[in-house]
């Protein structure tokens, strides 16, 4: 078993598959290999893990179908047309192979902006949660056909890490055509050594990366993988780079196959660190003593425990949660706009539907989106 990755500790896992693994040089889906990966996914699901797939390959697949030069990456218009054409084939393929294992697939296409914008980030997060609870495997890709050049991920490595953050995944695995991070480019330097575990991403580690994709099919190189590791570990999750050039790659890796693991620092509770450190706080919610105790025990904030709502904030904005004596006790993302929050303050969750005419969430601030300060 790999350090940091015993399945019992990884409840929710993101698996990213690069273009060169999914699509052969003739532009066909590598279905036989993909079937072995899907069998791995089915085995993990049967063991109680929740899986999210981030799949590249739309541009590579579409480019071949449309006979576009430079693998469809010659211009933004070509890449977008290729992505739109390839994506439909890609999702068909995933849905079919997962169905063979009795698993229902879902498709989510996101742009960078969807995950940077708080409200949309929270929506994506809630959708992923619901899909996980329903036992579905979401297959995620960048919505390349509408993303604009300046604001796109461009590579699915960082997208996978951000999706992991939105889904509060415990780990992300990048399946690649390289089997991990080497001290130097292994193709150019015979002395290059694989680094199995990375505890801190420092300048030395950064220097080991070279940009660009070795296969020329995808857009991610080692630089984007280290960036992804920075996002994941900063959000309190592990990230592994392993080779997808073998059949059943997850099983192969679990049985001792090579790979590099960037370890999260669990003691730091890094996932919530960014929240506690946020500078723009749009509002304040004063809670009663009962709610203060409940928050101290790690519970979400329910409307019933709210005494006062101040400030003008939108759903997804950062707010301070303060005790009756004015002490700031926590900081979190509000699930409601300030006017709706004021309407439901002090009321039981069951009453929300009647008060607002709709009941989007039963909590005012979810514990997963809250940091005690």
Query: How far is Cα 197 from Cα 298, in angstroms, rounded to an integer?
Result: 31
Q: Is 164 in the site for ligand GLU (CB under 6 A)?
A: no
Q: Is 218 in the site for ligand GLU (CB under 6 A)?
A: yes
Query: How far is Cα 338 from Cα 128, in angstroms, rounded to an integer?
Result: 25
Q: Which of 15, 21, 41, 59 binds ligand GLU (CB under 6 A)?
A: 59
Identify residues 277-316 at the interface with ligand GLU (CB under 6 A): none
Answer yes or no: are the C-beta atoms of 17 and 37 closer than 8 Å: yes
In the complex with ligand GLU, the residue whose CB is nearer, 2 or 156, is 156
Q: Which of 15, 52, 58, 333 binds ligand GLU (CB under 6 A)?
A: 58
Answer yes or no: are the C-beta atoms of 98 and 138 closer than 8 Å: no
Q: Is 338 in the site for ligand GLU (CB under 6 A)?
A: no
The residue of the chain with the least Cβ separation from ligand GLU equals 218
Report in angstroms how near the CB of residue 208 gets to ligand GLU at its nearest. Answer: 20
Q: Is 56 in the site for ligand GLU (CB under 6 A)?
A: yes
In the complex with ligand GLU, the residue whose CB is nearer, 142 or 320, is 142
29, β-bridge pairs: 23
Q: Which stretch binds ligand GLU (CB under 6 A): 2-10, 35-43, 51-59, 280-288?
A: 51-59
Query: How far is Cα 32 from Cα 133, in angstroms, rounded to an integer?
Result: 29
In the complex with ligand GLU, the residue whose CB is nearer, 60 or 128, is 60
Q: Which stretch binds ligand GLU (CB under 6 A): 53-61, 122-130, 161-169, 348-356?
A: 53-61
Edge-to-edge strands, sheet with 171-176? 105-110, 137-142, 50-55, 12-17, 171-176, 238-243, 259-262, 197-198
Answer yes or no: are the C-beta atoms of 259 and 253 closer than 8 Å: yes
In the complex with ligand GLU, the residue whose CB is nearer, 219 or 286, is 219
Residues 6+ apart with CB under 8 A from 140: 52, 53, 54, 55, 107, 108, 109, 110, 159, 160, 163
Report in angstroms how near the CB of residue 155 gets to ligand GLU at its nearest. Answer: 4
- Interface mask (CB under 6 A) for ligand GLU, residues 79-118, using x and -? ----x-----------------------------------
Query: How far is Cα 227 from Cα 158, in angstroms, rounded to an integer?
Result: 7
Report in angstroms how near the CB of residue 95 gets to ligand GLU at its nearest. Answer: 16
Query: How far is Cα 154 from Cα 164, in angstroms, rounded to an integer?
Result: 17
Q: Which stretch binds ligand GLU (CB under 6 A): 30-38, 203-211, 213-221, 288-296?
A: 213-221
In the complex with ligand GLU, the residue whose CB is nearer, 27 or 305, is 27
Query: How far is Cα 266 from Cα 281, in angstroms, rounded to an integer?
Result: 26
Q: Which of 4, 164, 180, 220 binds ligand GLU (CB under 6 A)?
A: 220
In the complex with ligand GLU, the residue whose CB is nearer, 108 or 330, is 108
Q: Which of 156, 165, 286, 300 binds ligand GLU (CB under 6 A)?
A: 156
Query: How far is Cα 223 from Cα 242, in angstroms, rounded to an integer?
Result: 15
Q: Which of 125, 176, 219, 286 binds ligand GLU (CB under 6 A)?
A: 219
Q: Is 57 in the site for ligand GLU (CB under 6 A)?
A: yes
- Interface mask (CB under 6 A) for ligand GLU, residues 120-149, using x and -? ---------------------xx-x-----
Query: How far is Cα 131 from Cα 142, in angstroms, rounded to an integer?
Result: 18
Residues 6+ apart with CB under 8 A from 232: 161, 164, 165, 171, 172, 238, 239, 262, 264
In the complex with ligand GLU, the residue whose CB is nearer, 228 or 287, is 228
Is the Cα dihedral 68, 22, 194, 229 positive or negative?
Answer: positive
The DSSP output letter for 300 is P
If DSSP codes are grouped into helix, strand and coil, which group holds residue 246?
coil
The residues that touch ligand GLU, with contacts defined as CB under 6 A, are 19, 56-60, 83, 141-142, 144, 155-156, 218-220
């Amino acid at each position: 078993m790999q350090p940091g990755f015993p399945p019992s500790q990884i409840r929710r896992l993101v698996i990213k598959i690069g273009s060169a693994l999914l699509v052969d040089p003739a532009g066909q889906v590598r279905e036989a290999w993909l079937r072995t990966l899907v069998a791995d996914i089915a085995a993990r699901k049967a063991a109680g893990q929740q899986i999210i797939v981030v799949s590249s390959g739309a541009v590579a697949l579409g480019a071949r179908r449309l006979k576009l030069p430079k693998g469809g990456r010659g211009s933004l218009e070509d890449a977008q047309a290729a992505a739109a054409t390839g994506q439909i084939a890609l999702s068909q393929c995933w849905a079919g192979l997962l169905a063979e294992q009795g698993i229902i697939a879902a498709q989510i296409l996101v742009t960078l902006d969807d995950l940077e914008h708080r409200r949309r980030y929270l929506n994506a997060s809630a959708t992923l949660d619901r899909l996980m609870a329903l036992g579905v495997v979401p297959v995620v890709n960048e919505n390349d056909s509408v993303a604009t050049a300046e604001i796109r991920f461009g590579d699915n490595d960082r997208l996978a890490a951000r999706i992991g953050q939105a889904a509060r995944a415990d780990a992300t695995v990048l399946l690649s055509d390289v089997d991990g991070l080497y001290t130097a480019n292994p193709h150019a330097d015979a002395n290059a050594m694989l680094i199995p575990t990375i505890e801190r991403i420092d300048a030395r580690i950064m220097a080991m990366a070279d940009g660009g994709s070795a296969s020329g099919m995808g857009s991610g190189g080692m630089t984007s993988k280290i960036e992804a590791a920075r996002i994941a570990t900063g959000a309190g999750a592990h990230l592994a780079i392993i080779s997808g050039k073998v059949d059943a790659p997850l099983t192969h890796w679990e049985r001792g196959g090579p790979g590099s693991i960037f370890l999260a620092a669990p003691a730091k509770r890094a996932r919530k660190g960014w929240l506690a450190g946020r500078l723009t706080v749009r509002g304040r919610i004063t809670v009663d003593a009962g709610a203060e105790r409940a928050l101290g025990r790690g519970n979400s904030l329910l409307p019933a425990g709210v005494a006062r709502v101040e400030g003008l904030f939108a759903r997804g904005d950062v707010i301070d949660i303060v005790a009756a004596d004015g002490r700031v006790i926590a900081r979190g993302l509000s699930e409601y706009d300030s006017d709706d929050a004021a309407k439901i303050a002090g009321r039981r969750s069951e009453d929300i539907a009647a008060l607002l005419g709709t009941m989007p969430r039963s909590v005012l601030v979810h514990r997963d989106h809250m940091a005690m300060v």
